[in-house]
Amino acid sequence: MLPRIFQRLRHRLFGGDTSYDAGLENEALFWRKALADGGKRWSPEAFRQRMDPEFAFPPHLQELVAASPAANRDPIQVLDVGAGPLTAVGFHWPGRQVDLNAVDPLAEVFDSILDDLQLAPPTRTRKAAGEDLLSVFPADSFDIVVCSNALDHSRDPLQCVRQMFAVTRPGGWVFLWHYRNEAEEEGYAGLHQWNLDESAGDMILWNRKARHSCRMELGSQAVVDTRPDSQVSRAIVTRIQKQVV
């Protein structure tokens, strides 16, 4: 079943661009192996956590909620972009209600893997590409939009950032976590065609052909703050708040 799905996705997502072909298949093969046997060959703790119906909403996102209009309302609307088969964003927050949506362009492939392995995660990933979020969700829909270690796998990361910002509510946040310059590290192989980096607090998207500043592209309604992750080598964290106008 997987090869047929790959053929459809290659044409639909990447227009037959063979530079992505191996990356697509490797992504699915990775997750098939990672989720087998309770995640023993991946991370048993991460597998257990992501399958837990009481998976905790993380403190760093709670802090963003507290610094937004969502501090005084429920449910809190959260979107995980490029979530993979098991979202790494929790949803259990005692005393609060978190409505979590998880999306990924490879959701059809992940559904096949989960069904084959007879796994039923508490949040099922639905099919949507980061570049096309407005075709799935209305503008100003979410209090928090998260993308972790996935933006640099996209065909057009700048369009993904624009779309994530568009579906964020005024006063809400886009939260991004990624490794610096993965395309350079990986030799522009597979899905790694773009680099993400930090410059004077800005997030820079670049490759051999283009370079984009998130501050310049998003304009005055966006407050962009990018910093090195103090706990993970080579990682950067970007917080983008959408100003109320």
Looking at the 3D structure of the chain, how many domains does it have?
1
CATH classification at residue 71: 3.40.50.150
> Tens digit of pLDDT for each residue in 6-21?
334 443 444 444 465 6
> Tens digit of pLDDT for each residue in 13-70?
444 444 656 677 788 889 999 999 999 999 999 999 999 999 999 999 999 999 999 9
What's the sign of the alpha-carbon dihedral 44, 45, 48, 51? Answer: negative
Nearest to 177 by CA among 93, 89, 243: 89
Q: How far apart are CA 46 and CA 42, in angstroms?
A: 8
Q: How far apart are CA 81 and CA 85, in angstroms?
A: 11
Which helix (H) or strand (E) element contains residue 197? strand 195-199
Which helix (H) or strand (E) element contains residue 109? helix 107-116
Report if pTM > 0.85.
yes
Containing structural domain, residue 87:
2-242
Give the ranges where 142-235 is alpha helix by DSSP (H): 157-166, 182-186, 214-218
Amino acid type, 98: V
- Region of 89 (left: φ > 0; alpha: ψ -120 to 50; beta: rest) is beta
